[in-house]
Amino acid sequence: MRNADDMLAVAASRAEELAAPGLNPRPRRKVAVLACMDTRIDLFPMLGLQRGDAHIIRNAGGLVTDDAIRSLCASQRLLGTEEIVVVMHEGCGLHGASEDEFAQVLAGDGVLPTWRLGAFDDVDATLRHSLARLRSSPELAARDHIRGFVFDPETGALREIG
């Protein structure tokens, strides 16, 4: 667990600057961001965010899953967010992946997941579907301010998808 040990040491050496006394868990900008977990996506500088501005929810693909909706629901209903931003990206590992091949790999290890990988062929269409799912989710209190973007890690460009 070398990485975890290194991380623990860094956190200990930076505890004073990492402390956030008085910082409210309610995001200042009342926004929650759902994004892919890809290491090339640095949401804070990309979106002009600072610590305390937004809830950040990340998963494989930046997909609207049941668990993403659970987190967004908690963000809205418990902590006052009123806006959702979804960020997917070009070159995602799920783009063009095979659900069947992934399931076979897991089955080879004796694992039968209760969830799907979420592979997709068209990032724009997938994002549109995700936005529609959010806009029709009764669990979410605020559904009028939901927007989606596709990031290109090669150029740094961010484009909106309706």
Q: Indicate whether this model's pTM tops 0.75.
A: yes
Q: Give dist(CA 141, CA 9) in Å, integer.
A: 40
Q: Give dist(CA 127, CA 36) in Å, integer.
A: 12
The answer, yes or no, to whether residue 10 has pLDDT greater than 90, is yes
Q: What pLDDT digit, counting tens, does each position of 54-111 carry?
A: 999 999 999 999 999 999 999 999 999 999 999 999 999 999 999 999 999 999 999 9
End-to-end distance of the chain based on CA atoms, in angstroms?
A: 43
What tokens appear for 78 in the block?
């418990």
How confident is the prediction for the chain on average, in pLDDT? 96
In the chain, the percentage of residues whose pLDDT exceeds 90 is 94
* pLDDT at site 162: 84
* pLDDT at site 78: 98
The answer, yes or no, to whether residue 52 has pLDDT greater than 80, is yes
Q: Give dist(CA 112, CA 38) in Å, integer.
A: 25
Cα 104 to chain centroid distance, Å, stands at 26
Cβ contact 57:110 at 8 Å: no
The answer, yes or no, to whether residue 138 has pLDDT greater than 80, is yes
Q: Is the dihedral of CA 6, 12, 16, 20 positive or negative?
A: positive
Q: Choose the CATH number for 24-161 among 3.40.30.10, 3.20.20.210, 3.40.1050.10, 3.40.190.10.
A: 3.40.1050.10
68-99 burial, b for 16+ CB within 10 Å, e for fewer? bbebbbebbeeeebebbbbbbbeebebbebee
Cα 111 to chain centroid distance, Å, stands at 25
